[in-house]
Structure 1
Amino acid sequence: MEPTASLSERSVPNESVLLVIIGQRNQALDELAKYTAYAEQLERENAELRKKLSERG
């Protein structure tokens, strides 16, 4: 009968799996940064438009 690995030994992902996970996480963080920058740009534009609108009336 072969020895079985303990649960903790079986649940440790190998290095290639960790690299994939890290790569996906980094890609998600890059996307988040893009959307955050875009949202900040829209907020600035919105503030400028509100200022112009309040100056008119």
Structure 2
Amino acid sequence: MTNDQIRPQVGVGVVFLQGSRVFLAKRHGSLGEDTWASAGGHLEMGETLEECARRE
């Protein structure tokens, strides 16, 4: 694999808090279906961590 083929994989997680409450979403149609999780996903090439967090 050459250097121009190396693509790091970065995951981003987002936790929304309101007082003592935490926002969770139920997962559908993916790994962990019917479980509860915080928002998150994978960073796209050229995207900042903040942009990824907003998109997710």
In the superposition, the TM-score normalised over structure 2's length comes to 0.23
- Of structures 1 and 2, the one scoring higher in RCO (CA 8 A, sep 6+) is 2
More strand per residue: 1 or 2? 2
In the superposition, the TM-score normalised over structure 1's length comes to 0.23
